[in-house]
Amino acid sequence: MKIFKDRAEMSVEKVSWHAIPLKEIFEKLGTNENGLDEEKVRHRLDQYGLNEIREEKKESPLKMFLNQFTSILVIILIISAIVSAYISHLKGEPYTDTYVIIAIVIMNAILGFVQEYRAEKALEALKRMVAPQVIVFRRGVEQKIDSKNLVPGDIILLDAGTRVPADARLIEAASLRVDEAALTGESTPVSKQLGELPENTVVTDRKNMLFMGTIITEGRAKAVVTETGMRTEFGNIAGLVQEIEEEAPPMKQKMEKMGRQLGTISVILTIFVFLLGLLVHQTDFEDLFLTSVSLAVSAIPEGLPAVLTITLALGVSRMAKQKSIIRKLASVETLGSTTVICSDKTGTLTKNEMTVSKIYANRKEITVTGSGYMPEGVFLNQGMELNPIEDGQLKLLLSIGALCNDAHLHEENNNWSIFGDPTEGALLVVAAKAGLWSEDLLKEYPRIHEIPFDSSRKMMSSIHKTPEGDNVAYVKGAPEMVLTKCTKIYEDERVRPLNLEDEKLILSKTVEMAENALRVLALAYKKVSSNLTDYKVEEIESDLIFVGLVGMIDPPREEVSAAIKLCRQAGIRSVMVTGDHKTTAIAIAKQIGILHDETSASVLTGEDLAKMSDEYLDKVIDGVLVFARVSPEHKMRIAQSLKRRGHIVAMTGDGVNDAPALKVADIGVAMGIKGTDVTKEASDMILEDDNFATIVKAVEGGRHIYDNITKYVRLMLSANFDEFMEVTVAALMGIPIPYLPIHILWINLVTDGLPAVALSIDPKDPEIMKFPPRDPKEGLLNRFWRFIIFSSTVDFVSNFIPFVWVYLTTKDIALARSVSFTAIVFFEFILAYQCRSETHHIFALGWRGFSENKMLFLSVIVSIAMQFAIIYFEPLQEIFHVTALNPYLLLLTILGASTAFLIMPGKLIKRRKYASETLKIA
């Protein structure tokens, strides 16, 4: 954890506040229930500092912009611009080449800067989550202060709807429930209670503590502040997020490596040619220097950085339409390399909409259709539809669930949502499916008292006035708890004593439902005296009449099974990482196709992980498909272990505690709906719909983008190698070079650049998800060297021979250069089409090969028009130092360019094997 150089944080040792008696806490903090006096507050503010999440010095926008110029390819371009300017100065010519290179470099920097401007705001998000004001007791007087002025020992008062401003230990709690999803990722509000807990109790189970940034959903509390600022749980996470260093994405690493290689080759051969010309051919120094610069420029694909940035930016825009917001450009390509997707269960693999699917009442098992919060569905018993209103037992059970309930069902534009606890929401929806709306029921059976749920009783009771004037207690809760309070059972629309056989049958049905991943509640009731004024729990929740069980599930998203199947086909392992129980996790994993054959090795719990060393975890992790009951800290270990095993890991998360795991993963995926701002800012990608299938679409998009990158890299490097060979051979032969620097820039930036941009949006290969993930260590061009060398050789022959022939027969260097300049441009238009497929010749694709990519077709037409303008428009002839071609020479360039049709991609590029041929994915 990062150490912050602050007296406050250096002077106080971390204490297990949840495990200490309150009296001892007051002594340690030098406070009491009346709070601190002003002198102590001033001293502690000086000692501990403000209650704020502090941040390291942020990278300024200017520095972020300047970082865009640190790529090796961009540095080489800048050097080329400087040398080009010097040559232009020596010759007294306009600085055209220099201006063009600088324009390309600046455009590339602006595109990268705009996309990454929002990159590092995690700590600002943390600050926004801290409550701005809070009510405190100081010297026995209530006062409202800014939360940043809180200090350890302050006594705070909180009620429903307020955000907890600091970590605190409870002194008093009344029906207190807290939403800790922002911190722990748990979607269900947590009930809080007083008393000490064991010292080794994990954060998620510290029921006697309140944590900064969480929200009080029900009840009220009085608490003593124990930690503030960077010493809170939030502060710990802030330090950890800052501490983690991000690795450069694979594509950036490959481009940097390729840039260094090209730069090295360029420098070595430039020096070689310069010395050869100086010592052997006795060439004029100025001409020799110009030749050497041309050689250096020809080795570098000037347009590559800009085209790469444009490709990634277009990919980002395309993915945004598919509900994937990519925050960092380089992450787009990394997605295509993903080998493992570690996904949360709730809301990502499932709908996060609890739905009642099974009911057990009157010894009948009833299936309820429909999923989510839409109140539509039917009730089936052995395949036969029931009318729940006509079934007295079923109607009573549904009414209890709707009345003993604090949630609200809301509809807007035919979209249904729940305000309140998801479990209670499921009970409202199933009642509404029967036509029993809670609003109508509450008018008929008004509530007169409530005994809230708490974790020790595991049940809730509400007392209602019936139309007959009776008082009735309706109860719901955990079956094993409710059943112990029942002495009777409602069956066949009459009440009879509950016997041992009934209890065994009810518990067996509970276990059966639970094994099928259902969350089970028991429903009961009893009449209570109308004369009661003091409703004691032990009196209300005893001698109950058992009515039935309801089993509910967070149903899998319909599209998830197909997405997981597609992942398996693509050689990608889908792993469920959930805080839910092992039984539930296994059942859902089987339903959606993650798990087929359950073995002890394929499922691990958080408890199992805690016992494992990193070395042992690394040995077994490749066989694990489900991690259950895991904490956010475990998620970080899982990501690190998978990365050590050589995987490219995508990890989802929503709670603040997930932020470190997301930052460690190669692709951190935050939830757009339920994700916290902190998690989003620590992520590489945000899912607008929190849907696993959207991750798979993004992976497919990443593969598509990578494929297109290799297409235009093949095009650009083939052209560059040809230029390089022509300039080198001409220098060795002692004849003028075929291209001037401005010709090379025009070829590299325009006639290569426009088709390259068009190739960046080439339609995807229909079989793209049948291939396994790329090896991230594999070089960008490993499979394409034969294609590049053969293509550049054919290009060299088709351009250089006409150049030499025209030069030797006419001694007109301008005319000879015009021929080679035009021939190479035309050749590369055809080559662009040959780069569209790794396996098929352009003719094998038929007319579709030429027409499918309309942008490529248009870019070729525009580039041809511009080339004709350069050759035949006098002002441009002067700038480019060319002359007009007669029809015979123009035909010669077209015939030379036609040799591009001799290239056979399928024979030159090593075929990729399908994932089914190379990998076995569980």
CA 742 to mean position of chain CA atoms: 44
CA 708 to mean position of chain CA atoms: 22
* Type of residue found at 30: G
Running DSSP on this structure, what letter comes out for residue 497?
E
Contacts with 287 (C-beta within 8 Å, 6 or more apart), sequence order: none
Tally of residues, the chain: 922
Residue 633 has phi, psi (to 5 degrees) of -65, -40
List 97, 154, 167, 344, catalytic entry: 344
Residue whose C-alpha is closest to residue 822's, from 751, 772, 726, 899 = 751
For the stretch 378-383, contacts whose Cβ atoms lie closer than 8 Å and that sit 24 or more positions apart, written own/partner, are 378/433, 379/433, 379/434
CA distance 418 to 416: 7
Burial 340-368 (b: 16+ CB within 10 A, else e): bbbbbbbbbbbbbbbbbbbbbbbeebbbb
Return left, alpha or beta for 643; rule: phi > 0 is left, psi -120 to 50 is alpha, else beta: alpha
Contacts with 497 (C-beta within 8 Å, 6 or more apart), sequence order: 487, 488, 489
Burial (CB < 10 A; 0-12, 13-18, 19+), residue 5, is exposed
Running DSSP on this structure, what letter comes out for residue 556?
B
Helical (H) or strand (E) element with 417: strand 415-419
DSSP strand E in 455-572: where?
Answer: 459-465, 471-477, 486-491, 494-497, 519-528, 544-553
For residue 342, give the 3-state DSSP assignment. Answer: strand
H, E, C per residue of 511-530: HHHHHCCCEEEEEEEEEECC
In contact, 549 and 521? CB cutoff 8 Å: yes
CA distance 504 to 311: 64
Report angle CA 264, 269, 270 to the nearest 5 degrees: 100
CA distance 9 to 446: 54
* Type of residue found at 743: H
In contact, 794 and 899? CB cutoff 8 Å: yes
**Residues 466, 470, 473, 474: is their CA dihedral positive or negative?**
negative
CA distance 362 to 371: 24
CA distance 633 to 654: 13
Running DSSP on this structure, what letter comes out for residue 139?
T
Burial (CB < 10 A; 0-12, 13-18, 19+), residue 374, is middle
In contact, 258 and 266? CB cutoff 8 Å: no
In contact, 147 and 133? CB cutoff 8 Å: yes
Contacts with 443 (C-beta within 8 Å, 6 or more apart), sequence order: none
Is 543 catalytic? The answer is: no
Indicate which residues carry an active-site annotation: 344
